[in-house]
């Protein structure tokens, strides 16, 4: 509304609140540095919910691990290709951050994960 784009609606919430949304509520579900706080005991459940409420795609700005998971500097990083494949989603594209775009741990581990659900 602020930019006079009538067909866009933004909703903010936490990982627990997404259960309140009906299936396929959003064209795109986006996270930014949220899943780095979700441990391995809960990550699949959260990803299932994200997939459930999305119609077309999921975009994550998170940390990437070559291993299944890693805990570094009080944050979780995951192998997103592996996790989404285990959930039956194979169309996943990952773009790593460059040293020029970010600093510190985000330059080393940060990425954009694009998941197509079509």
Predicted pLDDT at 32: 96
Confirm if 75 and 43 have CB atoms less than 8 A apart. no
CA 51 – CA 18 distance, rounded (Å): 11
Q: What is the pTM of this model?
A: 0.89
What token pair was written down for 43?
């990550």
Across 82-90, average pLDDT = 97
- Tell me which H or E stretch contains 72: strand 69-72
CA 3 – CA 37 distance, rounded (Å): 31
pLDDT tens readout for residues 27-78 = 999 999 999 999 999 999 999 999 999 999 999 999 999 999 999 999 999 9
Closest CA to 50 of 64, 42, 9: 42
What does the domain layout of the chain look like in residue ranges? Answer: 21-116
What token pair was written down for 71?
């805990």
CA 40 – CA 38 distance, rounded (Å): 7
Residue 60 DSSP SS3:
strand
Q: Which fold has domain 21-116?
A: Rossmann fold (3.40.50)
How would you classify the pairing of strands 92-96 and 75-78? Answer: unpaired
């Amino acid at each position: 509304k602020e930019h006079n784009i009538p067909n866009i609606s933004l909703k903010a919430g936490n990982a627990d609140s997404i259960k309140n949304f009906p299936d396929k509520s959003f064209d795109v579900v986006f996270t930014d540095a949220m899943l780095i706080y979700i441990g391995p005991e809960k990550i699949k459940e959260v990803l299932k919910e994200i997939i459930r409420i999305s119609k077309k795609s999921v975009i994550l700005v998170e940390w990437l691990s070559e291993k299944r998971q890693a805990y570094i500097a009080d944050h979780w990083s995951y192998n997103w290709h592996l996790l989404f494949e285990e959930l039956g989603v194979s169309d996943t594209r990952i773009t790593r951050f460059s040293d020029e775009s970010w600093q510190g741990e985000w330059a080393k581990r940060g990425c954009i994960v694009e998941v197509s659900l079509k």
